[in-house]
Amino acid sequence: MIANYGYEDGSGHYYIKIDTSKCAECKDKGCVEKCPEKLFVVELDDFDDEVVVIREDCRNTLRTNCALCKANGEKELCRQACKFDAVGFSW
């Protein structure tokens, strides 16, 4: 399943995309530790697979949460840590 967490407002659309079937295969979930904003948390999904989701209290503030990583101009730290290429950004 492709889960898109985020929002759209007058300034644009800000979604983090997680491919949960790829994510469920990953054992170490490196994105959780690597993200300086601690946006990722591990949860059991509806099919009892361990997957990462974006913290509920951050889903409507992603533009500011991810600003530092984005400003670097390099691949975001969560994407660098994800060995399964399960994380993507809409902006």
Binding positions for other proteins, rule: CB under 8 A: 1-4, 7-10, 13, 15, 46, 59-60, 90
Nearest approach in angstroms of CB 8 to other proteins is: 6
Nearest approach in angstroms of CB 54 to other proteins is: 12
Nearer to other proteins, 53 or 78 (CB): 53
Nearest approach in angstroms of CB 45 to other proteins is: 8
The closest alpha carbon to 39, from 57, 19, 15, belongs to: 57
